[in-house]
Structure 1
């Protein structure tokens, strides 16, 4: 695994091999990550990464959030409750020397609680496949004030996802066994 583009381009990230089934780690492949960011930057959304506040739920290795940081995001908050995942995320944050622009929360993404700060513009949602955790995490993020008005959500799953009530489905793509669903969060006052 490596950072694909931006200021950390080519940086090798901590490896988990083919994943860690016991820790539920299934890193997004470099190819899917590259396709995903190409879609975000060329899909008619403007540049949703540059200057964004990014929330990476079920962060795993932190590769999605750190890729966004490499490409110009202002801040990344990474959320994972796994011991192995948090260890890998800390190692990757250190490799990128990104301690000042990242936060790591040990938290269940389906029970985020109240956000005490500003909402996030870009949300990566990459739950363990087939466990119906993505919808729960998105509902938790919405009810806790983690989503900025009109936030862009990138949801990675093993099947296409439907937009929850109030969210707008913008795009859905398949890359091998990975389905990427892009949503727009509701506008808030």
Structure 2
């Protein structure tokens, strides 16, 4: 009984995300109610994309835990060249694909699977802008960052956005990542790094 209730929970629409700026400005996209999915709020997104304004246009983007797609769709709306989305949850992935189709975003590619496993493969391209917003309290962040470096996923001066829980304050990141910006909103810390 509990199982079917969880399944229903996973498939119920939770609401919408809104694209703030660019070619799809004002578009609302449906989001499924998936356990652990926390769409980045409009307020945080606005701050983040102010930070990212010098880097987005014509960039090749990678979203490691795409979830609602809020970050990658915002980047593509602002004329990023392409976006690769990783998502493990079948329900969230299905909604992401529907939203890609809805936007007719032929420069967005969804890969369904476990991010840590996907990062062990050799990428077809290197990426300029990376979004890392893993589910909280699952110890995924450090491993992801190490694999990005170890397996040549990053362009020479890639910019990396990280969203994490506030209490996770001892994070070991690659030594060649320099912090550019950081801010906190409630229980969420968000940071921007550049590879040097």
Q: TM-score, normalised by structure 2?
A: 0.84
- Residue in 1 that maps onto 2:194: 184
Check whether the contact 2:182–2:192 (CA below 8 A) recurs between aligned residues.
yes
More strand by share: 2
Pairing 1:57-136 to 2, within 5 Å after superposition: 57-98=64-105, 100-111=106-117, 112-136=119-143
Structure 1 residue runs of 5 or longer lacking an equivalent are 42-46
Contact 2:34 2:92 in 1 (8 A): no
Q: Is the contact made by 2:63 and 2:86 (CA closer than 8 Å) also made in structure 1?
A: yes
The normalised TM-score by structure 1 is 0.86
Rounded to whole Å, the distance in 1 between the matches of 2:34 and 2:87 is 14
| 1:44 matched residue in structure 2 | none
The number of residue pairs the alignment matches comes to 176
SS at match of 2:92: helix
SS of 1:87's equivalent?
Answer: helix
Bigger-Rg structure (1/2): 2
Unmatched runs of 5 consecutive residues or more in structure 2: 1-16
Q: Cα offset for 1:162?
A: 5.6
Conserved 8 A contact 1:163-1:169: no
- 1:164 offset after TM fit, Å? 2.9
